[in-house]
Amino acid sequence: MFSKILIANRGEIALRILRACRELGIKTVAVHSTADEDAMHVRLADEAVCIGPPASRDSYLNVAAILSAATITGAEAIHPGYGFLSENADFAETVEAHGLTFIGPTAEHIRMMGDKITAKTTMQMLGVPLVPGSDGELTSLEEAREVADKVGYPVLIKAAAGGGGRGMKVAQTAGDLEDAWKMARAEARAAFGNDAVYLEKYMDRPRHIELQILGDNYGNVVHFGERDCSLQRRHQKLLEEAGSPALTAEQRDAIGQTATQALSKMGYRNAGTLEFLYQDGQFCFIEMNTRLQVEHPVTEMVCDVDLVREQIRLAAGEQLGYTQKDISFSGHAIECRINAEDPDSFTPCPGTVAVYHPPGGLGVRVDSALYTGYRVPPFYDSMIAKLIVHAPTREQAIARMQRALDEFVVEGIKTVIPLHRRILEDPEFQKGEYTIHWLEQFTAKPH
Ligand code: ADP
């Protein structure tokens, strides 16, 4: 086992990783920008190294500074968290080239899944069903027209290098296709320096359902069931549940088996998530994330597993030590992402937290790096906390989440807590009847 790990991230996830390390008896090194000198993960870590000015590209994305910090402190492994360098294959490779362990999959698998076209063709070869669309990259607008005519409008033009919903454009009819094609490519070129695009049928009422996977270095792969992440605004998830209100245990087992077989054939190691659109009883793979996800806690609650601990153990070369039949699912979990944003306009709202009082009680978990007097810096993601509840049934989990949201006090800055309250009260949400389009419509309605 490692004796010291460097955490190449900030905010709640840095703290989450730190907590897992503490429980494993592993020393921690925090790295931080000058804007994060007072951050909780910096205060709690055994050692802290300042790696640059506030802008992410100069600090949390500064590979040379992070590697220097690891060398100076004698860290043996680096946990990248999510975002920042977590899906950067060059970073993973550089870390390993310096004789350190990257806590995640191989650079080869990160690269493969980072290109969504390669990801889709790989998964197809391994027997995973896809969204109908182009066979790989589109070489011309004419080819896009042919494929669109075949699969039927509306269609989506998506960037091979896409992420965070960027480089993705819908064409409702044949008349929109040229614009969608041009705009998706221009956006992809500007955002990722790569204008390769592909085409998918635009599904009109799917749910976003993803599967949590873990693999060891010896070909053993298991899944920890699904998360329903359909509640999204601008392709950003806001509320997640485990399990999905739309799936039966048999459907979960079936897709789980397909996914674990595929990843075992690939020799995939460490944590990963396969994302699917699910409609009319069909799963269609859209992409794979080769890292820990923001919403991993809902899985932890229903499976009684510490996924970060597992990541660290597996990266240290330990075997999984259990098989699929040892994994069971108990109760229901919901996560609300608490963003420092105006709950109506979604304008980011950084500033000083005048009062912070998190909820508590049975089945309530808060993953956050906030404290009273903390200044939320304007330079990073607006998510400041995750409120997670676990209860025997979905109905009880909803009641518990409502109770916890009512207890949650964050003063001095605006948050989306009022929006979560409204969602939890909604009869359609309560019945579990929602698709990926539901939240956009809900937030557009006057209230
Ligand atoms: P990104 O990596 O940018 O997040 P994804 O491929 O994961 O892109 O898609 C993000 C979201 O966009 C999905 O969760 C879903 O809501 C929507 N989406 C993606 N592909 C389709 C599709 N073919 N039809 C309808 N919605 C889609």
Question: Where along the chain do its domains lie?
Answer: 2-102, 139-199, 205-442
Termini Cα distance of the chain: 53
* pLDDT at position 163: 86
Ligand 1: atom nearest CA of 165 is: 3
Ligand 1: atom nearest CA of 167 is: 3
Q: Ligand 1 pocket, 392 CB below 6 A?
A: no
The tens place of each residue's pLDDT in the chain, 447 residues long, gives 999 999 999 999 999 999 999 999 999 999 999 999 999 999 999 999 999 999 999 999 999 999 999 999 999 999 999 999 999 999 999 999 999 999 999 999 999 999 999 999 999 999 999 999 999 999 999 999 999 999 999 999 999 998 888 889 999 999 999 999 999 999 999 999 999 999 999 999 999 999 999 999 999 999 999 999 999 999 899 999 999 999 999 999 999 999 999 999 999 999 999 999 999 999 999 999 999 999 999 999 999 999 999 999 999 999 999 999 999 999 999 999 999 999 999 999 999 999 999 999 999 999 999 999 999 999 999 999 999 999 999 999 999 999 999 999 999 999 999 999 999 999 999 999 999 999 999 999 999
Q: How far is the CA of 403 from the centre of ligand 1 (A)?
A: 32
Ligand 1: atom nearest CA of 116 is: 6
ipTM over 0.90 threshold: yes
C-alpha span between 223 and 253 (Å, rounded): 9
- Kindly state the greatest CA–CA separation across the chain: 61
Ligand 1: atom nearest CA of 284 is: 23
CATH classification of 205-442 is 2.30.33.40, yes or no? no
* pLDDT at position 165: 83
Say which of 16, 145, 291, 313 is annotated catalytic. Answer: 291
C-alpha span between 78 and 14 (Å, rounded): 12
Query: Minimal CA–CA distance to 9: which of 320, 229, 21?
Result: 21
Q: Ligand 1 pocket, 235 CB below 6 A?
A: yes
Q: Ligand 1 pocket, 295 CB below 6 A?
A: no
- CATH number for the domain whose boundaries are 139-199: 3.30.1490.20
How many alpha carbons fall within 13 Å on the CB side of residue 333? 26
Candidate from 436, 437, 438 with most ligand 1 atoms within 8 A of CB, to mutate: 436
Q: Ligand 1 pocket, 198 CB below 6 A?
A: no
pTM of the full structure: 0.97
Q: Ligand 1 pocket, 163 CB below 6 A?
A: yes
Ligand 1: atom nearest CA of 275 is: 7
C-alpha span between 309 and 221 (Å, rounded): 16
C-alpha span between 403 and 408 (Å, rounded): 9
Q: How far is the CA of 353 from the centre of ligand 1 (A)?
A: 34
Q: Ligand 1 pocket, 187 CB below 6 A?
A: no
Give the other-Cβ count within 10 Å of 46's Cβ.
15
Q: How far is the CA of 41 from the centre of ligand 1 (A)?
A: 32
Contact 341, 349 (CB under 8 A): yes
Q: Whose CA is nearest to atom 19 of ligand 1?
A: 286
Same fold, 2-102 and 205-442: no
Query: Minimal CA–CA distance to 116: which of 228, 189, 197?
Result: 197
Q: How far is the CA of 158 from the centre of ligand 1 (A)?
A: 9
Is 145 among the residues known to form the active site?
no
Please state, in angstroms and as integers, the Cα–Cα distance from residue 16 to each residue in 9, 313, 386, following that order.
10, 15, 11
The position carrying tokens 């359909």 is 230
- CATH number for the domain whose boundaries are 2-102: 3.40.50.20
3-class SS string, the chain: CCCEEEECCCHHHHHHHHHHHHHHCCEEEEEEEHHHCCCHHHHHCCEEEEEECCCHHHCCCCHHHHHHHHHHHCCCEEECCCCCCCCCHHHHHHHHHCCCEECCCCHHHHHHHHCHHHHHHHHHHCCCCECCECCCCCCCHHHHHHHHHHHCCCEEEEEEEEECCEEEEEECCHHHHHHHHHHHHHHHHHHHCCCCEEEEECCCCCEEEEEEEEECCCCCEEEEEEEEEEEEECCEEEEEEECCCCCCHHHHHHHHHHHHHHHHHHCCCEEEEEEEEEECCEEEEEEEECCCCCCHHHHHHHHCCCHHHHHHHHHCCCCCCCCHHHCCCCCEEEEEEEECECCCCCCECCEECCEEECCCCCCEEEEECCCCCCEECCCCCCEEEEEEEEECCHHHHHHHHHHHHHHCEEECCCCCHHHHHHHHHCHHHHHCCCCCCHHHHHHHCCC
The position carrying tokens 């990926």 is 436
